Chains A and B, each alone.
Chain A
Amino acid sequence: MERGPERNINQYLLQSSEDEIKRIALELHEGVAQTLFSIYTGIQLLETSTEDIKMKNYVREMAEVLERTIQEIRYLSVELHPPTLSTIGFFPALQSYLKLYTSTFGIVVDIEQAGEEIPLPVNHRIGLFRVCQEALANIAKYADSAKIKLQLNWEHHRVQILIQDFGIGFDVDAHIESHGLAAMAERMKLIGGDCIITSQLGKGTTIRLELGFASNVNGEGEKV
């Protein structure tokens, strides 16, 4: 197998871009959003301390724009890298992303979890999270499905994730080399897992992700 060095460099590139994304997300969430929030409370104080009705309305308007901006920054950070992903765990991070997903795209996600989350190495969590994100993005873009069923099964030696939509379906073989789908497979491979896509025209698509716990691909498993 001649894939060793190539895979290592791919992994390195991926890791550095994930590190950067995480840094930006944290800076937005802990830095920018916090600072804006202080300004927001200051502006609210201004609103209550002025008697001038016109000024009051103007200040309230400013506070509202600020409030929305703060909310949008928080959402952005959840999309980039949920703050809980590398701290608390994969499932809480996925949940906060799914909540945002439903309110953004209007697609209901039924989540079912069986078993208890095994704390995975952070790069495994990030890998799983990105693949779920891509699967969900494809559903929002193409599936024309109002509902998604997402199942997480924590077994003693592996975790299995099923993402099922009930939309138009597509010819998987014809698209398997397409970048988005190929990247899902590759990311799962990089962490020692699998991505299996099945689809039926008119019925919908199922993405099955599997990741064994013992696998410690290229010794990178514990890297945070």
Chain B
Amino acid sequence: MFNKSKNYEPILQECKQLKKEINCDFVGFAFQNTIGPDIKWHIAAGNHNEKYKLISVRYGKGIAGRVISTGRAMTIEDFPHHIIGKVLEYPIMLAEKLVYSHAVPVYYKEAAKGVLLVGNRSNKQLSREDVLIVQAASNKIEKIISC
């Protein structure tokens, strides 16, 4: 499980490193709370405001909610165009004014319990190598929270 006092620093470093490596505008990490079913954004890099701290990811909704409910990666190319559901179902995109985002699940004990999201405030896309780097970062985070 994500343990704030123990895992915060190493995951923050991981997010910052990822942001630099793929040169994106925003990186966020959300994970299920220790108690109860709530999934919160615990860590962000490149954020414009503190809204993410108050946001609970709605299960099955938006990019983060869907990544967790399906356990699969998801990409939004050109928000608010060509999205599933309503604009209001994408709070993190709205809060951070993201146009492009790519999110991958973070697994804990074989279940998707969190999400690692990278985003741009323009429609600049990730390259194929960047996508692999994001996946690798998610795997590193999984290692951090598993011990």
**Known: A105-B51, A105-B91. Contact between A72 and B97, CB under 8 A?**
no
Q: Which residue of the partner chain, among B37, B51, B87, contacts A106 with CB atoms under 8 Å?
A: B51
Q: Which of A75, A108, A141 contacts B58 (CB 8 A)?
A: A75
**Smallest beta-carbon distance B75→chain A, Å:** 21
Is residue A36 within 8 Å, beta carbon to beta carbon, of the partner chain?
A: no
Is there contact, CB below 8 Å, between A61 and B111?
yes
Interface presence of A120 (CB below 8 A): no
The stretch that binds B, out of A41-49, A63-71, A193-201, is A63-71
Contact A106 B97 (CB under 8 A): no
| B44-77 vs A, Cβ < 8 Å mask (1 yes, 0 no) | 0000011111111011110000000000000000
Cα(A5)–Cα(B88), bound, Å: 35
- Asked if A103 meets B55 with Cβ closer than 8 Å, knowing A140-B88, A141-B94, A144-B97, the reply is yes
Q: How far is the CB of B128 from chain A (nearest CB, A)?
A: 32
Q: Using a CB-CB cutoff of 8 Å, which residues 127-156 of chain A contact chain B?
A: 137, 140-141, 144, 146
Q: How many residues does chain A have at the interface if contact means C-beta atoms less than 8 Å apart? A: 21
Contact A106 B61 (CB under 8 A): no
- Beta-carbon nearest neighbor of B41 in chain A: A106
Indicate if the CB atoms of A141 and B97 lie closer than 8 Å.
Answer: no
A71 vs B58: C-alpha distance in the bound complex, in angstroms?
Answer: 9
The main secondary structure of chain A at its interface with chain B is helix
User: Is A50 an interface residue, CB under 8 A from the partner?
Assistant: no
Find out whether the CB atom of B52 lies under 8 angstroms from the CB atom of A106.
yes
Whether B136 is near chain A, meaning CB under 8 Å from some CB there, is no
**B88 contacts A67, CB within 8 Å?**
no
B109 located at the interface, meaning its Cβ lies under 8 Å from any Cβ of chain A in the complex: yes
**Contact of B133 with A by CB under 8 A:** no
Q: Is B132 an interface residue (CB 8 A)?
A: no
Inter-chain CA distance A69–B50, complex, in Å, is 27
Any B CB within 8 A of the CB of A38: no
**B84 shortest CB reach to chain A, Å:** 16
Chain A nearest Cβ from B90, distance in angstroms = 10
**0/1 string, B106-136, CB within 8 A of A gives 1:** 0001010000000000000000000000000
Which A residues from 35 to 88 make CB contacts under 8 A with B?
A: 57, 61, 64, 67-69, 71-72, 75
Chain B residue with the shortest CB-CB distance to A106: B51
Q: Is A178 an interface residue (CB 8 A)?
A: no
Task: Please tell me if the beta carbons of A72 and B61 are within 8 angstroms of each other in the complex.
Answer: yes
Q: Are A137 and B88 in contact (CB under 8 A)?
A: yes
Q: Are A71 and B87 in contact (CB under 8 A)?
A: no
- Mask of A96-117 contacts with B, CB within 8 angstroms, 1/0: 0000001111111000000000
Q: Is the CB of B37 within 8 A of A68?
A: yes
Q: Mark B85-109, 1 if CB is under 8 A from A, else 0.
A: 0011001001101000000000001
B49 touches A105 (CB 8 A): no
Instruction: Give A146 to B53 CA distance when docked, in angstroms.
Output: 11
Whether A105 contacts B95 by the Cβ 8 Å rule is yes
Which residue of chain A has the shortest Cβ distance to B68 in the bound complex? A68
Give min CB distance, A80 to chain B, whole Å: 13
Give the top 6 A-B pairs by smallest Cβ distance, nearest first: A106-B51, A106-B54, A68-B59, A106-B55, A68-B37, A103-B56
A contact residues vs B (CB 8 Å cutoff): 57, 61, 64, 67-69, 71-72, 75, 102-108, 137, 140-141, 144, 146
Q: Can you name 7 extra interface pairs (CB under 8 A) apart from A72-B59, A103-B55, A104-B58?
A: A68-B59, A69-B60, A105-B91, A141-B87, A141-B88, A144-B97, A146-B51
